[in-house]
Structure 1
């Protein structure tokens, strides 16, 4: 419910009468809370606030906040405690236990499946369907989620611990938790219980032959799946931590991860290595394509290679969105398909706890003036041509449909195939093609109907390309292709006159080619020793332009063409430099 940001409608302080009513309602909803507990939960001298919010799915909720931490939220006249409240009162709800890797999936919006629930030797808590329950991790009673049971305990056991167990409402690390002070869960020792001998345990579970033991199943679990190695580690009495520790446990035991799980592990390792040891605050904002190419890839251990397509995320943007949901970094979309890392929380526990292995000696972050500049690769840009309704008759025979996008060579091949299959090559001069009714309707203007009966091959293809819908595809290294309508805007360089006859050089559209305007301005400033800055691009949403004092056309052109290898056809304004040199 709180996996995505919610909208705050209002935030007001509670009146005394409302505070007393809330205390009474909480007492009715949670009878186990004593008068002292209620006083601790809602102290008389501390301010309470009522926050009206809309969840991302449109649900209207009321959140009650004490000292910046949400303590209770109300939905459809039902009260639910937050994890902050459950950390103070761990016995408020019946608690079920799961494995640490499951938490990340629940925080992302997944429900808790029964295969992910640990069945302790003492058995599961007795609950009925629809009962509100807490979820904790192995090794601690501190709740990390709350949810509603989809079936009773007896039904869970009878099902063989398969299917959905709980509809998760709120978790540690979700947006409701982030609305508070973002503190972590305390370590609350599990209740001391005597372990039941295995034989007695089997007798207790005899009526339910399919009930699994505390081991995780070896088969792939639906939705929330865990690796078998985590269970083995827990049996040895080791605490399992998300990501890093589970990976270390797996490696130490020589476990066999699936290729996708292994790639996810390598991707996470390189990601946290880059943030911990490579990326600096001065590097931000940083284009995600540059981060992937200049930082993440360079942190890959020798002999291994990160291939995001082979991971469960498939795309860099999806992986970074997950990291943003975990509050590790913040992403901003500059234009369609072009994103930038604008902030990193270096105090985040996942970053601070990352330790590089001995074979991965931490190296200082590369700035744009050195290695990053050499590692830069321009995007691959391909012109595409869409089939319109008018041009469709020419392409139907080849199996294409309206709206299909083709390259220029594909269009040429289709035209050649059409001409040959319809025997339209002029018998006396093979350089000409006979105009049939289809070609006439598609490629000729009305004024040309009676005048043109033959077309040269080049003229035929050129007319076809001109009448098709223009598009282009941009592929950044390591990212999925992005297709946009029209032709790509070139990098535009202009020299403008300012007050007191001063000149300034303006560079636009750098983002479209994977260049970070802020880093570009910093590097250019170092090279020409002139003041440079970034300003909003007029008429373009979330786009910026680089401005630098003086006429710097030669330096800008040299940087773009020689250092960043941008093809000359994608840079406008370089001819101004040639004209100005001729005048001199």
Structure 2
């Protein structure tokens, strides 16, 4: 909403004392989490108001601190809804419910994008559409500072079921972000981003882990993933939960209020995890996976199957508390032996080590396994986080690749019979237009003049408008009274003048009249039976013949040459010995030429590549 500079910005005016008191009362009523004494912090003395319009011509009012930082704003003519800015949320981070997203998504939000459902890692519970929320950067084991304010597009129920039902679409309509035009109005715009918040009371309730420390206070836990069967000093992977916070696409169970996690509770949760693992992942692995060490069995199958609902039920910041050292068993070996006595698994013990001996000894027909209730697991959540991070990483890599790629645009200019149409449409006839812009111009023109056929909306009444009829007419043919919309668009563009534009990092933008042709890579037979590969048409893409020939000589380990093309004094041909279509194509792509603009033909087989 504020991705571009504000328009029609009025001079700021001090708020009268009575208006400030009314505004403070509105804030306290709109946000019940606030205490009365916090009103003066968020609606301070010396508050100023300033009217503005967004670049989308939406009217609004910003309320500024005495220092000039925007604290609140409204959007829409006569709107009374107060929306906190990021400045305000940094003063009171828990003012709004929140959703968290990976770091790689944040720049997209700042550039004006809305938050999509696949980008949500965790969120507050009980969210409803149109509710104001803050968006934070995801931090493992903590809550990041608010970086955006928006309005929910869906409910938290939709977010929880998104992965299972493959739901896409928008999660939050973003209204304002850190570093947007509204943020840049503030005098504190260069302030450092606050540190992530901890989990407050949920952390304070946890008891110190005396078993994992020596007398001198040094931590004796082994590295992550290593399991000591006697002490089970295992550092479980962090997850993305906070007290009262739901994982995205997670299954919420149990009480929403925090409770004390006892050793008996941990034992019960671990047993639930074992039963879940037996009924799911362990039932699908091949018999060759056994015998399996207790360490692998525990780390790979049991720990990931811990129930995610326990995090919310007990107000846990992560899954490290749901660990055998906090249970009544104290170590993995004791837990597994107890499970074997119940008939859930069968073990083989040798000296100080134990192993799970095979699939046949995992009793899938055990009554507790058959009666298990499927649950969302810690492993499911970690998998979602990994997928989101991988997806964002791939998008970032693709974006980096596009930066180095030559950008080719096909453009068209009003010409001949299309000039009157563009004049009638009140468009600049000296401008160059891309296909989308031409389509929008035609559609807007047709709609504004009611030229859509009443009997069949696929057709346009071209005969009812002289400027449009001239633009689509073909010499020597009668212009039909009706014409399909796609045919109208095709003819308008066909009658315009063709141009092209080439952009490349570090080079001046090239705009030239005429249709751009792809680079030609042709394999021909010369000098008897010897095949060679000829490359032409590369000059418009900023490639030099001598450099191209030298690189191909090294890449193909073949002789190369550069010769002028007969009849084309400004064009050269690069020749490389042998059938080198793949090597040449790969080199051109590496130099930034989009594959679409490379046309390869092997004339020895008469096939295009």
TM-score by length of 2: 0.39
